[in-house]
Each structure stands twice: as C-alpha cells, then as structure tokens.
Amino acid sequence: MTLEGKSTRRGFLKQAGFVTGGTALTGSILGSLGASTADAATVTWDQTADVVIVGGGGAALAAAIEARHAGASVIVLEKAATTGGSTAISGGLIQAAGTTYQKQYTKYQNDTPEKHYETWLLEGEGLVDPVLIKDQASGAPGNITWLVNLGMVVTGLYGACHVPYLDKAGVMADRIHITEGGGAQLAAILLAGAKAAGATIQTSTEVTSLVTDATNSVIGVKATGPSGDFSVGANKGVIIATSSIDHNPEMAKALSAQQYWDITSQQNFTAPTNTGDGIRMGMQIGAALAGFGGTIDYEFTAGLGGANSSPQLACVCVNGKGMRFVCEDATYAYIMRAIFQQQAMHKAPAYLILDSKGVQGPASPWSKSKLAPAVKSGQLVKATSLLDLARKIKVPAANLKTTMANWNRNITRFGRDLVYRRNTQLVHINKAPYYAYKPVAANLGAIGGLKIDVNAQVIDVNGAPIPHLFAAGMASGGWIGPYYPGSGTAISGLVHWGRKAGASAANAAV
C-alpha cells in the first residue's frame, strides 16, 4: 500500500526566521494548531487531570502507566479511532544490552549498557545528545523487565547488520529482543496496562492547541471530539506523544529532505495520523527542535540489511553514474540514507546489480517462479551483458563495466571488499544474464521532534525548560541520529521516554 501525500487538515503559515535549537529555519512552518493564553486562576475547564497526554501510541500509553503508578490522574487524548499508533503496526522489536534474554539467546554474555551507549553515540555521528542516549541505554534493561511484568513475552534475540565504521570499535552486539505477537500485541499490552492503572482514554479526539498562562507555563489543552469542542486542564503537566512528521509533506520539506522524498515518491507504512500536530503546537510556544533529517527507511523488496543472522543479497549497488557508493550488507537505514543522497546528487536512480546466480540466491526475493513476472512487470531489468544493462538503465557503460570488474578483481585477489568493507556475499558477480533493481524505501517513520532534557521536559529556543510541558517517543528528538541505528531503537526510546515523561509530569510541582 502507498500512503503518499497525506496532508494535515489544517493549513500552514510560513514565517521566516523561527529559531529552533540555535538554527534559523528560513520559511519555517507554524500551523493553525497552536496555543492560547488563559488565566490559570479563573479558567473553567470541561475536564481536568493531573497529567494530560496528547497521543495514544506506545509512548503515550507507557507515560500513562507510569504517571498513574506515581499517583497522578491521567487523561489520554488520541486523534485516531483506536490507540496504538505506529507501535501497533511495528514489529514490536526492542533493543537492550545486558539482559537475561541476551545471555540466554546470544553469545554476548558480557555486553553492557555502556557499550550500547557507545554504539548509539557513534551511529549518531556527532548529532545526538549524549546525555539522552546514555540515559536511554542505561534504562533499556529495566524497561524490558517493566514490559515483561506487564505481560510482554520475549521469544528470541538477534543483531542488527553492521555499520562499517563500527566494525573495529568493538561495541556492536546482538541486542534486538523479539516479542511475542509483535507490535500489535505490545500495543495491546500497554493499553491494558494503562486501563488497569486507571487512566482515562478518549479516542477520536484531536487536540487542537496547548493552553498556557501568562508565564508560558502549559496548563491544559483544547480539543475536539465526537461531541464537539472542549478543554482539559492539566494540574501538573501535558505530555506530547504524537509521533513525528511522517505524513506531513509541508513540515518534511522544511525539516527533513529524506522524509519528503519518502512521502512524495516512496512507500510510507506509518500511522496516517502522524502529521506532526504535537510538534507544531510545541513550536508555537517556543519549543526547540532536535534530531531532524533522518528517517527509518527499509528497502521494500530486496530487504537489504535487515538482520545479521539472515542471508544478504549478492549484489553491487551503483548510482546514476554506474559507480558503487555504499556497503551493501550494512544496516538498512544506513544503506537507504546513502541511496537517497546519491539519487539527490545525480538526479538519477540507484540500482542493485545482480547476476544470474545472485538473483536466485538464498537472500533473493525473486524465486524461480517470481523471476519472469518481475522482469515482465519492469521491477527487474534483464540484460544479456553489462553493456546491454547499462544501456537499459541509462548509466555510463564504461563506469558500470569498471565497477563490476573492480569488484570481481578484489574478490579474486584479496577475498574481501577493500572499498566499503562489505562482510558477506563476497562472491563474483559475473555470470550473464545480468539484472538491475531500483531500490524503493519503505518508510517506517521520520526522525526528529521536540528537544527534551533527561527528564523528558521540552526545552525552548533559549535552552530553558518550558514549564509543565513534556514530550516522548518519536515526537521528541535528539536520541536518534541521521539514520536509524537498527530495529528496536524506536520501541526502546518510546518506552523509555514515555516512562520518563509520565513520571516527570506526575511529580511536577503544582
């Protein structure tokens, strides 16, 4: 299914010079969703709770449970007709280091949260907040235990595919916990936990603005639901847990070029209600942004870089000039970032080049019965020679021939990839007929959101906390870098920052 061009229900105003975290965004977008000011002493609310949570996905439900366990009353407001959000349609995988499950299912008996932190820090490429990811890595084992106590069952564990610059760092390990029933069951467990804890959950209810007092402290929200418009007062705090800008082309165009590419030309598999509403409401009252630019992109058909325990496709990836540019067995989002960048740079698609052995290999999605239909439909381009293939995919023939010759020569002489440090499928690709496949991104969400501190409190553009405003999950930013560092990172983050936001809001001073 393709979910392209989904727009929000409210238009946008372009306002130049809005500053987010010290960086001016020319033509930055602030929507008609926003904020209104009220006198906290005299305002009349239709409903009140200690903690009001905007959104009903995994992060929101984790926050609701934690806030209730801390003794706060909680109202959850979800725009969709059901809770769960993108968590419910995810794989339900979660990363953590040093757990009993990791020791049970893997060879990594001495892995630690500190090594997990170092992995995420390096994969952040200098663009993540070290304090946030250290806190998340440290809290991850306890979050597994917390989920298991709610009813989650861990059935196995595997590792992400490698990142070439991490191969010698000694910090990567198998940390991806597989959960019974995947994301749907995880979302159901969190919903049951929130209900059992006593949270009030209202679906088909869209929050339309934050309400602040004269000091810019958040005191409640305005919303619209099945019975019309109403207001909800928050005695202690409001938590924004509305995910990121997954289906918002205007915000993506301004904040995340790769997400814009995904929305306008690729496949999008996130909840269609993820339109950045909470992020814009935070921006309206001066919240800073963090972490924008990356995406959770997985190759839709070939499945590049899915798991280190799975066979990888025997192929070479070339750009529009016929030149190789990436390690083909790296983790999936690392590969897709490079593909996006090359396509933008050359204004031409990238291709996976396979021969007759690779196209029928153990990792290939084109079994014998599927090969001819894939060629007939145009999904695969088939050619009798490399020169013929170059002509058909419109890349310079000399470049493609040189690229493939260099690959085969290195395999013959050295048995390894000297250029991009590929580790698997170090085989010759030289048996006609040849095939080319144009990769398609399956977008699983945008990276980036409201800037938070270690207590999940939202930070304004001057670096100060916004009183009584918190953010969690993919609506918060700074804990994932410019590409997604492997399956289970998002669920790890939404549970961690959901719990932190819930506890912080529940314990906020009145």
The pLDDT-based confidence of 39 (bands split at 50, 70, 90) is confident
Q: Which two tokens stand for residue 510?
A: 């009145």
Query: How far, in Å, CA of 495 to CA of 506, rounded?
Result: 16
Q: Which positions ≥6 away from 417 have C-beta within 8 Å?
A: 327, 410, 423, 426
Write down the pLDDT at residue 367. Answer: 87
Query: How far, in Å, CA of 279 to CA of 457, rounded?
Result: 13
The pLDDT-based confidence of 26 (bands split at 50, 70, 90) is very low
Asked if residue 173 lies in contact with residue 97, where contact means CB atoms within 8 angstroms, the answer is yes
Query: How far, in Å, CA of 502 to CA of 408, rounded?
Result: 55
Burial 192-204 (b: 16+ CB within 10 A, else e): ebbbebebbbbee
Query: How far, in Å, CA of 299 to CA of 87, rounded?
Result: 20
pLDDT tens digit string along 52-71? Answer: 999 999 999 999 999 999 99
Domains in the chain (CATH in brackets) are 34-293+443-510 (3.50.50.60), 301-439 (3.90.700.10)
* Phi, psi for 400 (deg, rounded to 5): -65, -40
pLDDT tens digit string along 355-380? Answer: 999 999 989 999 889 999 999 999 99
Q: Which positions ≥6 away from 242 have C-beta within 8 Å?
A: 54, 55, 79, 274, 276, 277, 278, 279, 475
Asked if residue 326 lies in contact with residue 407, where contact means CB atoms within 8 angstroms, the answer is no
Q: Which positions ≥6 away from 409 have C-beta within 8 Å?
A: none
pLDDT tens digit string along 198-257? Answer: 999 999 999 999 999 999 999 999 999 999 999 999 999 999 999 999 999 999 999 999
Does 34 score more than 80 pLDDT?
Answer: no
pLDDT tens digit string along 97-142? Answer: 999 999 999 999 999 999 999 999 999 999 999 999 999 999 999 9
Query: How far, in Å, CA of 282 to CA of 28, rounded?
Result: 14
The pLDDT-based confidence of 29 (bands split at 50, 70, 90) is low
Q: Which two tokens stand for residue 100?
A: 């009993």
DSSP string, 442-500: EEEEE--EEEB-TT-EEEBTTS-EEEEEEE-GGGEESSS-SS--STTHHHHHHHHHHHH
The pLDDT-based confidence of 510 (bands split at 50, 70, 90) is confident
Q: What is the mean pLDDT of residues 303-310?
A: 93
Q: What is the mean pLDDT of residues 276-297?
A: 97
Q: How many CB atoms lie within 10 A of CB 420?
A: 16
The pLDDT-based confidence of 32 (bands split at 50, 70, 90) is low
Q: At what angle do helices 489-506 and 130-150 cross, to 10 degrees?
A: 90
Q: What is the DSSP letter of 161?
A: P
The pLDDT-based confidence of 27 (bands split at 50, 70, 90) is very low
Write down the pLDDT at residue 11. Answer: 30
- What is the pTM (predicted TM-score) of this model? 0.93
Q: How many CB atoms lie within 10 A of CB 284?
A: 19
Does 8 score more than 50 pLDDT?
Answer: no
Write down the pLDDT at residue 6. Answer: 30
As a whole number of Å, the CA-based R_g of the chain is 24
Cα–Cα distances in angstroms (integers) from residue 486 to residues 37, 78, 98, 306, 481, in the given order: 42, 28, 17, 8, 11
Q: Which two tokens stand for residue 501?
A: 């936001």
